[in-house]
Structure 1
């Protein structure tokens, strides 16, 4: 088939038809045709030639040109596509290195193999353009709900057809329970992510994501869509139960009532979409213990103890409320934990009483053994809130005088005994630390007690340089998430109740003392961080 013998407008008509079918720019199809014709021409004239094809966008005429580039004499490699300045003077008046010279060549006859190759090039380019269009169309729809049509089921995965974007897959682990679909069914899905990959844009769908529920409420509750009510967090056990925390920015609107709707119409619409998943709507509260009490509904809570540093919370419930608070297979407490972002320990009032009694006995024995007191006197100290020797040794003496039977002489004797015992412990700890190899630079560093130095030396931290290389979590401990579970990281100084902030300050002070950090630059960074935080608060 010769290009000249064909209807030249047929190229443009074909390009427009393909572009309409694939919903892409006709210019992209024409460019693909130009490239395919150029490849066919190279197979006729020679692969080393630089043959280019341009199709007139109005007439459809294909123009074949041979291009040669002017190069320096010592750079001439391809005699078919390059020539020297001297050779170029035959065709150009004042040739310069880098200039191109084009001359038209006769159109080629497309044989069967060449025509097939040209077709493959066009199809490939069209597929690439279609994938780019699909990606551009859907990249901004991540985080939204889309309506799709079920095409088929493959090994438990649902293949759906998206409007204008080909196919996507709802994997079986992203389905709710055992829900089943037939071809042609309409389905709502949450777009978790859209990624550009070699085989085309990959659209990841979900019906189990907590965000799916949040978006459904946004569709059903106008106050959420308008921003009057805000969804603070969502926790789900897909197909079974869920908890959603909401807050109203308008004091006249009840966030829970607005989400429930008249006679439960709004929440029932969401429940129906989620295959009957039971939903607890929780009022959000800035006070974490109060929020947790709400999150554990319908169980009643007697007491809450919040450990902010460890992000753990202890909940005390009556004996008859324990199973309700935990829920079937731990569902209620697990969802409450996800909703609040805290690890929750639930115990009965009897269990808490036993624990408190054990702590009381431990502290009583500590004072009896270290201060040489009888049991009654040691119990008096514990009852007044004293938990360790440091508190007894260095507290203001007036706080000891409020204890029945304690006068100034007795208080002074108590503190003297406590200080003597602490001094002896410190001396022994320093001796053990030196035996382990701790150097004076670490022993004399402000902020580290002898027991801390001993613990560091046991862990291999024996110099101030070693200490300065430590991370704050290595000293104070922390929590990491592995496989969806929170895992405790033990810190070397954690037994001494060193917080992350204190660990950061100690390490940074050591680095400044060693000259690793410029104190002026550090102060400037801290000031800039404080200013940024203040600006962020003002914007909020």
Structure 2
């Protein structure tokens, strides 16, 4: 039976990944505690475990006292009882008595079990803590177990890890069973055991992912010098190659972007800028601000500040959305970064020059002190106002009280002068803006007047054009009417060939008629007769035109024409003409 107990202890040690000796030690402690509780003993209990035979024995050591002198049964034993154990027992000596397990009782065994379970659990937690404490900075893979109050619990094997809400990428959403990879950032000891804290936002996660995707980084040929991240949005990484034959940026990007795209997908499409690293801070900053084009960089090493000068059209690109590009460039370079246009930089330099206060204007600062301050890089009151108390105390001969006095006086003088200068600039700018606004208003008025005049000219031209088109249309209408009236008159002249030709004037009845002689001989008109006939034809045509063009015909002319057509003479004349033609 004892062997079975030892085998069970061995399995416990294997399952809980703890040392077997620790389990045996825990068992001894449990049995000792159970013996103390059952037999009311002290620290005089000893447990012996034989791992070869599997035997477990519990002994209690007691002092031998004379019969009837027993005071503490847990610590003492009477001589008679001691002789039953060994015949060599004597009063005053110590003797070991074995405690059978059957005498322990149920409660004592349950106590030993609780102690064993508790100690094994504690040992397991300590082992887990030590294991994961040594893995901080590694990528841990697991599956989403559940989501509790925004925190994501991850099953990583023996224990559950946690991704706190602040360590999650903001736009990511998790569901139970989803695979996840995160970097181990901390291991905490809690009452429930060690708690493994993972992160998806830590910059080292980006570094580790590139280690996995880029063999050159894993082998150390390419180094990652700096990383800056805004998780889920954008990141910048500075890389440097120890081998001149290898392009660090190209190696990180991979064929058709395969390497960097794997990292981008893992980080929920986070944009990654890969920047070649260089020791020149100004040149490195100009690269870190890409895709903006930097004209030049002004470096202030004393304040660890760099000012990047860009064109006006590059300012928004250099700053980025909500200042994102500038922040990442500052984190990547480790410097404070100001992004300015040429105009703004010139204004700042002009203000510095106009508000500069020499050390001689400071009260209580003599020539010797001025020389010492200049030696330490404090050549003006402006430099002192931007300095710190610790830096002033480093100047020989400057105590704490003197440093405070100089610092306060410098700040006060600089603030007053800067305020006055800025007020003056503000007034000047307001005057310039007012003059500019007035000029723009005048220009706008002139433009409006010019537009109105141009509109009037266009309207007049349109009216004239319309009037000309109307006159031309009227003329064309008159011409069409005249053509219509000419057609019947020409028909009459053509039908009267060899018969009758009439000529009607505007104010008289036609009086010239040509008649064929009654003897049947052909009539040959003389020159005067031909002239008369032609004149009569022309007069007839003129009369027809006047009748067609005038809408109001004279009643008298209508009557005359009617009387001519209806007169008997004309009928007789027409009959004579027909008869003459018959004789021919």
Q: What secondary structure sits across from 1:251 in the alignment?
A: coil
CA separation of 1:502 and 1:251: change in aligned 2, threshold 3 A: farther
* 1:185 has 2:178 as partner: yes
State the 1:56 CA deviation.
Answer: 1.9
Once the 2 structures are TM-superposed, how far is the Cα of residue 345 of structure 1 from its aligned partner?
A: 1.3
Q: Is the 8 A contact 1:476 1:499 kept in 2?
A: no
- Provide Cα deviations, 1:309-362, integer angstroms capped at 9, x if missing partner: 211111111111111111111111111111111111111122112223334444
Matched residue, 1:112: 106
Q: CA deviation at 1:141?
A: 0.9
Superposed, 1:476-487 pairs within 5 Å as none
Contact 2:59/2:96 (<8 A) preserved = yes
| 1:133–1:498 distance in 2 versus 1, CA, 3 Å | closer
Corresponding residue to 2:28 among 16, 34, 45: 34
What is the 5 A alignment of 1:82-231? 102-163=96-157, 165-196=158-189, 199-231=192-224
Shift of 1:15: 0.8
Distance in 2, Cα, partners of 1:187 & 1:125? 33
Mapped partners of 2:208, 2:256: distance in 1: 21
1:244 pairs with 2:237: yes
Which residue, out of 317, 339, 344, partners 2:337?
A: 344
Say if 1:230 and 1:67 are closer, same or farther in 2 by CA, change over 3 A. Answer: farther
Seen in structure 2, the aligned counterparts of structure 1 residues 183 and 109 have a Cα distance that, compared at 3 Å, is: farther
In 2, the alpha carbon distance for the partners of 1:125 and 1:329 equals 55
Contact 1:241–1:279 (CA<8 Å) still a contact in 2? Answer: yes
User: Considering only CA atoms, is the larger Rg found in Structure 1 or Structure 2?
Assistant: 2
Query: What stretches of structure 2 of length at least 5 have no aligned partner?
Result: 64-71, 78-87, 401-584
Partner of 1:322: 315
The answer to whether the 8 Å contact 1:317/1:346 transfers is yes
Shift of 1:162: 1.7
Q: Give how far 1:65 is off.
A: 1.5
The aligned residue for residue 519 of structure 2 is: none
Q: Distance in 1 between matches of 2:115 and 2:344?
A: 75
1:324-403 to 2 correspondences below 5 Å: 324-362=317-355
Secondary structure of 1:303 counterpart:
strand
> Are the equivalent residues in 1 in contact too, given 2:62–2:75 (CA < 8 A)?
yes
Instruction: Tell me: CA distance 1:82–1:237, structure 2 relative to 1, closer, same or farther (3 Å).
Output: farther
- Map 1:488-507 onto structure 2 (within 5 A): 494-495=384-385, 504=394, 506=396
| Partner residue in 2 for 1:527 | none
Tell me if the contact between 1:29 and 1:126 (Cα under 8 Å) persists in the aligned partners.
Answer: yes
Report the Cα distance in structure 1 between the residues aligned to 2:15 and 2:111, rounded to whole angstroms.
22
What's the offset of the Cα at 1:12?
1.1
| Structure with the higher fraction of residues in helix conformation | 2
Quick one: structure 1 residues 108 and 311, their matched pair in 2 at CA, closer, same or farther if it must change by over 3 Å? farther
Name 1:52's counterpart in structure 2. 46
The match for 1:429 is 364
Distance 1:161 1:356, change over 3 A: same
Distance in 1, matches of 2:148 and 2:284, equals 43
In 1, Cα distance between the equivalents of 2:38 and 2:232? 64
Residue 538 of structure 1 corresponds to none
Which consecutive residues of structure 1, in runs of 5 or more, have no partner in the other structure?
1-6, 70-77, 84-89, 367-387, 391-421, 431-442, 453-474, 478-490, 512-540
Residue matched to 1:63? 57
CA shift for structure 1 position 68: 6.5
Q: Would the aligned equivalents of 2:137 and 2:204 in 1 still touch at CA under 8 Å?
A: yes
What is aligned with 1:277?
270
Structure-2 change in CA distance of 1:499 and 1:298 (3 Å): farther
Give me the whole-angstrom Cα distance separating, in 2, the residues matched to 1:252 and 1:92.
Answer: 91
Q: Deviations over 1:202-239 (max 9, x none)?
A: 32211100000001001111111111111111110100
What TM-score comes out, normalization by structure 2 length?
A: 0.58
SS of 2:212's partner is helix
Please give the TM-score of this superposition, normalised by the length of structure 1.
0.63
Alignment match, 1:407: none
Q: Distance in 2 between matches of 1:295 and 1:92?
A: 91
**How far apart in 2 are the matches of 1:230 and 1:497?**
36
Distance 1:359 1:310, change over 3 A: closer
User: SS at 2:141's partner residue?
Assistant: strand
